[in-house]
């Protein structure tokens, strides 16, 4: 039993190390441009080599112990036979047992002994398999979200008008529970309003977006839609009525048409083209020889940052959500693409609640409310005129900084 437990631990370790080594290969190949740009091929090869060594070392260690254990079992097994034969011979010699009976006994004990002797090895093998599959079992035991994989998952049962409230929301990521990211955030956005969130990098803006989308749940406080807490709605109802244009847009391998249709799978081609037009994307799409059938993503044409954003905007337009989250890209676009994206966003924000996470303050002058976030706390809020009037305020300071860099 003790040996079995030991083998199980080793087996799990070997599996983990093997996983790590696979991650290195995966990351290196995915980021091959970075590896090459920094001339780090040797470093990566070394890293992989080292971790593979580790895997082999653990495997060899396991094999060694199993060898020792097997010899131990065999030694005792045959030791017992020798003992039986010796004692039997003594009995035969003293005429307390005849030779036939001794032979019979020896055969029986060989069969029984050999069978028993194979148990420890079987047990060790079993434990090895358990060790290797423990992680998989852990994942299988993980409780999933309450989303049934049915076709009409995109149907909305409880419509949301668009009022959004954060009520004293406290949040820490489950992977880092000791680090509180949001420390009691409260604000309201009435249906149709534009609320902007600004603040330094790492202050928790994208985290708020994840909370609205129910990717995580606050430890304290609540998020309300139309005055009712999020758990009164099904997750699919919320997500079907909230759209996000994320900070970094991911396009799936497939045509541009399919990528826009991701916003509403049953949309007609006319709807998709209409959405692309409103997102200022139609022009660049039709300039490609294959137009909407152009394959993008990993294996296809790489689109520029501004183009990807406009695809994401078209996707969100097609979804036609009540609440829209814009997580503005940090990388700045040239003025022309910026104008095109900005126009597309204006179109997208019409008639719905918009939460705009902004890096360029020039884009949020018109917002109904601006919330200034710092280290997970709201330190200022109000409209542009109010905030700019606050001599000591962070907003005024940030605006001035941006104005200076633009002017200079
Ligand atoms: N999945 C995660 N697990 C653990 N911590 C995270 C996770 N995502 C973000 N964080 C941490 O939460 C904090 C806030 O991150 P967040 O992405 O919300 O910042 P942000 O305000 O959007 O910044 P930026 O302006 O650079 O986009 C950071 O300290 C970050 O390290
Ligand atoms: Mg962010």
Q: Could you report the per-residue pLDDT of 152-180, keeping only the tens digit for each?
A: 667 888 899 999 999 999 999 999 999 99
333-345: average pLDDT:
76
Angle between helices 41-93 and 2-30 (to 10 degrees): 160
Domain range summary for the chain, segments of one domain joined by +: 2-141, 164-407
The structure tokens listed for 50 are 């080292």
Q: Report angle CA 371, 399, 395 to the nearest 5 degrees.
A: 30
Segment 351-398, tens digit of pLDDT: 899 999 988 887 788 889 999 999 999 999 998 888 888 888 888 988
Question: Which pair of tokens denotes residue 296?
Answer: 């993008």
The reply to whether ligand 1 has any atom less than 6 angstroms from the CB of 203 is: yes
Q: Decide: residue 30, CB within 10 A, 0-12 exposed, 13-18 middle, 19+ buried.
A: exposed
Closest ligand 1 atom number to CA of residue 176? 4
* Sequence-ordered strand ranges (E) for 232-285: 242-245, 254-255
Which of 166, 170, 171, 173 to probe ligand 1 with, by most ligand atoms within 8 A of CB? Answer: 173
For 245, the 3-state DSSP assignment is strand
Does ligand 1 lie within 6 Å of residue 287's CB atom? no
* Cβ proximity of 310 and 341 under 8 Å: yes
- Residue 168 to residue 35: CA distance in whole angstroms: 44
200 C-beta closer than 6 A to ligand 1: no
CA distances (Å), 146 to each of 78, 240, 364, in order? 59, 14, 36
**Mean pLDDT taken over the chain:** 88
Probe target for ligand 1 pocket from 200, 206, 327, 358, with the most ligand atoms within 8 Å of CB: 206
What per-residue confidence (pLDDT) applies to 333? 66
Fold of 164-407: Rossmann fold (3.40.50)
For the Cβ of 207 lying below 6 angstroms from any atom of ligand 1, the answer is yes
Of 29, 28, 20, 96, nearest to 52 (Cα)? 20
Identify the band that residue 224 occupies on the pLDDT scale cut at 50, 70 and 90: very high
* pLDDT beyond 90 at 230: yes
80 or 206, which is more confident: 206
The CATH number that domain 2-141 falls under is 1.20.1560.10
Range from 182-196, 201-215, 239-253, 324-338 carrying the lowest mean pLDDT: 324-338
User: Ligand 1 pocket: which of 178, 203, 248, 372 to mutate (most atoms <8 Å of CB)?
Assistant: 203
Check whether 148 has a pLDDT greater than 80: no
Mean pLDDT value across residues 57-63 = 91
pLDDT in tens, 302-312: 888 888 888 99
Residue nearest to atom 25 of ligand 1 (CA): 201
pLDDT tens digits for range 170-223: 999 999 999 999 999 999 999 999 999 999 889 999 999 999 999 999 999 999
8 Å CB contact between 316 and 341: no
Q: Is the dihedral of CA 223, 224, 225, 229 positive or negative?
A: positive
68 close to 23: Cβ distance less than 8 angstroms? no
If one compares 117 and 331, the residue with the highest pLDDT of the two is: 117
Res 105 pLDDT > 60: yes
Higher pLDDT, 136 or 336: 136
């Amino acid at each position: 039993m003790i040996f079995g437990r030991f083998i199980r631990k080793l087996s799990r370790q070997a599996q983990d190390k093997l996983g790590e080594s696979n991650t290195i290969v995966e990351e290196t190949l995915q980021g091959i441009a970075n590896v090459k740009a920094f001339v780090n091929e040797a470093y990566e090869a070394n890293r992989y080599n080292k971790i593979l060594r580790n895997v082999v070392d653990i495997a060899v260690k396991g094999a060694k112990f199993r060898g020792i254990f097997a010899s131990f079992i065999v030694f005792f097994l045959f030791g017992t036979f020798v003992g039986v034969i010796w004692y039997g011979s003594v009995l035969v010699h003293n005429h307390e047992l005849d030779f036939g009976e001794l032979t019979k006994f020896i055969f029986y004990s060989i069969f029984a002994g050999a069978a028993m002797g194979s148990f420890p090895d079987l047990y060790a093998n079993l434990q090895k398999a358990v060790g290797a599959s423990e992680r998989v079992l852990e994942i299988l035991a993980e409780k999933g979200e309450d989303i049934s994989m049915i076709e009409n998952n995109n149907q909305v049962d409880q419509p949301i008008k668009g009022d959004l409230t954060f009520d004293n929301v406290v949040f820490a990521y489950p992977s880092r529970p000791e680090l509180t990211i949001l420390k009691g955030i409260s604000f309201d956005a009435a249906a149709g309003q534009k609320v902007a969130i600004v603040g330094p990098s790492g202050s928790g803006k994208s985290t708020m977006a994840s909370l609205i989308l129910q990717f995580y749940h606050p430890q304290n406080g609540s998020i309300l839609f139309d005055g009712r807490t999020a758990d009164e709605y099904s997750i699919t109802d919320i997500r079907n009525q909230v759209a996000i244009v994320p900070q970094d847009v991911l396009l799936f391998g497939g045509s541009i048409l399919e990528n826009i249709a991701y916003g509403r799978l049953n949309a007609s081609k006319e709807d998709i083209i209409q959405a692309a037009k409103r997102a200022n994307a139609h022009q660049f799409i039709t300039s490609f020889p294959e137009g909407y059938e152009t394959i993008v993503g990993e294996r296809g044409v790489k689109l520029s940052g501004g183009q990807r954003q406009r695809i994401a905007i078209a996707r969100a337009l097609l979804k036609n959500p009540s609440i829209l989250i814009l997580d503005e890209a940090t990388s700045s676009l040239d003025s022309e693409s910026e104008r095109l994206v900005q126009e597309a966003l204006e179109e997208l924000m019409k008639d719905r609640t918009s939460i705009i996470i902004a890096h360029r303050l020039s884009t949020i002058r018109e917002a109904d409310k601006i919330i200034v976030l710092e280290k997970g706390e709201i330190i200022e809020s109000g409209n542009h005129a109010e905030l700019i009037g606050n001599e000591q305020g962070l907003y005024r300071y940030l605006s001035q900084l941006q104005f200076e860099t633009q002017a200079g």
